Amino acid sequence: MFARSILAAAAARRSMASVPMASPLVQSFASVRPPASSTVSPLLASAALAFRYPATAASASGPASSLLPVGARFMSKFGSEYQPSIIRRKRKWGFLARNKSRLGRKILARRVLKGRKWLSH
């Protein structure tokens, strides 16, 4: 079982060795790759290269937007979740809305007993 995985790793290295390099920048980092005798897959080697040299690896593999932090890549709008409306707030949580139901009147009575200055919105 172990010997089979070693043979598979060696075959993967041979198949990746026959593929020409994509750019001269990648060729300059050929010395960073692990030696041929190790059992590290080419995928792990490229991940290690990207981890060691994030800016260089990103510029070699994609556009300049890949150099941005993850949160800056997506144009997200903040503040679109809560758009306050005074009318809607008073209709839902206001004094008249509390006074309509039995449970609402209990809430108002509790707040009076507690000494709240404002009973509701």
Task: Tell me the pLDDT tens digit for each residue of 13-35.
Answer: 665 555 555 565 555 555 555 55
Flag whether pLDDT at 38 surpasses 60.
no
Gyration radius from the chain CA atoms = 32
pLDDT at residue 41, as a whole number: 72
Flag whether pLDDT at 66 surpasses 70.
no
Flag whether pLDDT at 90 surpasses 90.
yes
Flag whether pLDDT at 102 surpasses 70.
yes
Report the alpha-carbon distance of residue 54 to residue 18 in Å, rounded: 25
Environment class of 96 (CB within 10 Å of its CB; exposed 0-12, middle 13-18, buried 19+): exposed
Pick from 19, 34, 23, 31: nearest CA to 61: 23
**Residue 80 banded pLDDT, cuts 50, 70, 90:** confident
pLDDT at residue 29, as a whole number: 55
Structural domains in the chain? 85-120 (1.10.287.3980)
Query: C-alpha 27: how far from its chain's center?
Result: 31
Task: Calculate the average pLDDT of the chain.
Answer: 74
Phi-psi region of 101 (alpha: psi -120 to 50; beta: other; left: phi over 0): beta
Report the alpha-carbon distance of residue 67 to residue 106 in Å, rounded: 58
Phi-psi region of 42 (alpha: psi -120 to 50; beta: other; left: phi over 0): alpha
Q: Which residues contact 100 (CB under 8 A, 6 or more apart)?
A: none
Q: Is 41 within 8 Å of 15 (Cβ atoms)?
A: no
**Residue 81 banded pLDDT, cuts 50, 70, 90:** confident
Mean pLDDT of 36-62: 62
pTM exceeds 0.85, yes or no = no
